[in-house]
Amino acid sequence: MQTTNNPKETLYPHVSVDCVLLGIHDEQLCVLLTERRDAGTDRTEYKLPGSLIYETEDLDDAAYRILNEATGLKRVPLKQFRSFGSPRRTANKEDVLWLENASKLKIGRIITVAYLALCKVKRLKISDRYGPAQWTPIARLPRLPFDHEEIIAAAVREIRVWLDMEPSIVFDYLPQLFTVSQLRRTYEIIYNRNIDVRNFHKKMNSLGYVVQTDETEQGMPHRSARFYRFDKKEYHRMRNKLNTI
């Protein structure tokens, strides 16, 4: 939760925002972590991009500030999904000392509001505002401060619920033209389970907003797969129609 020194703003020491940025890297569901260096030691640890909020700052504004400072992105859909307020969040004295040194504030109990986004790994322009960052597989998380492991676990559950409710977010993640295999594999990685190829293909063809194109993959050693595209207008038309039933 490294903070910025802004003479025009006052940090509020009891509320923070943490951003869980999920993405697929090397065929694994990963989370973006930033370095946390402890002053006076050579030890490097990792944490979620986050910050104490400013006294006059809206929570959503704080989340997008952190997103932009950590990744360079501004328009990725962020979802506020849960607050974490256990008194045990600050039970580790080393975590509290690090935050006090970073913020120049006396830290007591902190409630953090967590935000979630599914990001395209290649679109990120990682900044050094929060220190060097890296994509880390969910299955191989290092030791994290505060309750960041709990926050990440909750975010993984939430992204699956979000995808069930709003399938359009997966198409924001995919390229403009995608194959059935790319779409299916994205679902498999996010849900961490295998999906029957025939059933998936059948279901995808029943979706009016997934449109087959005349284009196919080029230069492939096997039979070229056909490309599809996401029809956003048709998606919203179908969603609106369902909402009126």
User: Residues 141, 201: one domain?
Assistant: no
Which pLDDT band holds residue 210 (cuts at 50, 70, 90)?
Answer: very high
Say if 206 falls within a structural domain: yes
User: Residues 141, 192: one domain?
Assistant: no
Burial 149-182 (b: 16+ CB within 10 A, else e): eebbebbbebbeebbeeebeebbbbbeeebbbee
pLDDT at 6: 53
Say if 87 falls within a structural domain: yes
Q: Are 14 and 112 in contact, with CB atoms under 8 Å apart?
A: no
Lowest mean per-residue pLDDT among 12-26, 123-137, 150-164, 172-186: 123-137
pLDDT tens per residue across span 122-145: 655 665 565 678 899 999 999 999
Query: Residue 181's domain is classified under what CATH number?
Result: 1.10.10.10
Q: With a cut of 60, say whether residue 8 has pLDDT above it.
A: no
Say if 154 falls within a structural domain: no
Greater confidence, 74 or 170? 170
Average pLDDT value for the chain: 88
Domain extent for 215: 168-243
The pTM for the full model equals 0.88
Which pLDDT band holds residue 5 (cuts at 50, 70, 90)?
Answer: very low
pLDDT at 197: 94
C-alpha R_g of the chain? 20
Lowest mean per-residue pLDDT among 9-13, 117-121, 160-164: 117-121
User: Residues 137, 217: one domain?
Assistant: no
User: Residues 127, 196: one domain?
Assistant: no
User: Number of folded domains in the chain?
Assistant: 2
Which pLDDT band holds residue 43 (cuts at 50, 70, 90)?
Answer: confident
User: Residues 80, 188: one domain?
Assistant: no
Query: Residue 41's domain is classified under what CATH number?
Result: 3.90.79.10
Q: With a cut of 90, say whether residue 38 has pLDDT above it.
A: no
